[in-house]
């Protein structure tokens, strides 16, 4: 009988949107420079490897026009091995990119959650007073483009609700 693995409680798991690089950059978990460095290190190599497959096939087919049949067989075998290797390198680098990025984001998420727990524990522990919260209300009107920012304390008056933004098409 096997023992089931311990799972993290649901409140400690980050929302799935946090694992998206754009969201993590927007939330400040990672910087744009870190994201670009990770993308240039791993993802660019993946795109390069997979992107070389089609030109290599076209080059080999152009060269095979003047070859004897047995030479074409050797060229086709070498082409198959080379294309397979390029594809495997591309897959490995893309997996490495996604893995390293998720590890970085999850590490920063854990640090942010620990810092939030420590700050909430220390601010409420002394006098029992409710900490002051700042809310930011953003209203965006697209005809003509107008952006309205309002800040205010929740102790004075609640911020007006923001209108829902249209969802982006994928």
pLDDT by residue (tens digit) across 20-65? 888 888 888 888 888 888 888 888 889 999 999 999 999 999 999 8
Which tokens belong to 110? Answer: 């854990």
**pLDDT exceeds 70 at position 137:** no
Q: Which residue has the tokens 């311990």?
A: 6
Does residue 141 sit within a domain?
A: no
Does residue 28 sit within a domain?
A: yes
Stretch 9-26: mean pLDDT: 72
Range of the domain at 38: 16-124
Does residue 94 sit within a domain?
A: yes
How far is the CA of 75 from the CAs of 4, 80, 89, 130, in angstroms? 51, 8, 21, 75
pTM, two decimals, is 0.56
**Percent of the chain at pLDDT exceeding 70:** 63
Count up the domains in the chain and report the number. 1
Residues in the chain: 170
Q: In the structure, what pLDDT confidence band is assigned to residue 159 with cuts at 50, 70 and 90? A: low
Give me the DSSP letters along 94-118: HHHHHHHHHHHHHHHHHHHHHHHHH
Does residue 66 sit within a domain?
A: yes
Does residue 29 sit within a domain?
A: yes
pLDDT value of residue 106: 85
Does residue 118 sit within a domain?
A: yes
pLDDT value of residue 119: 84
Does residue 2 sit within a domain?
A: no
Does residue 43 sit within a domain?
A: yes
pLDDT value of residue 60: 92
Provide the strand spans (E) within the chain: 134-142, 145-153
């Amino acid at each position: 009988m096997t023992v089931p693995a311990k799972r993290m409680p649901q409140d400690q798991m980050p929302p799935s949107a946090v694992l998206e690089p754009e969201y993590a950059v927007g939330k400040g978990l990672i910087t744009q420079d870190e994201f670009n460095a990770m993308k240039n290190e791993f993802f660019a190599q993946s795109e390069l490897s997979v992107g070389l497959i089609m030109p290599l096939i076209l080059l080999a087919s152009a060269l095979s026009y003047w070859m004897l049949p047995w030479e074409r067989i050797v060229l086709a075998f070498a082409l198959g091995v080379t294309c397979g290797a390029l594809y495997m390198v591309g897959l490995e680098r893309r997996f490495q990119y996604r893995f390293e990025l998720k590890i970085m984001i999850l590490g920063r998420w854990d640090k942010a959650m620990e810092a939030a727990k420590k700050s909430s524990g220390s601010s409420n522990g002394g006098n029992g007073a409710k900490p002051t919260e700042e809310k930011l209300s953003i209203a965006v009107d697209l005809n003509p483009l107008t952006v309205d920012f309002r800040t205010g304390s929740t102790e004075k008056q609640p911020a007006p609700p923001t209108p829902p933004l249209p969802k982006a098409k994928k």
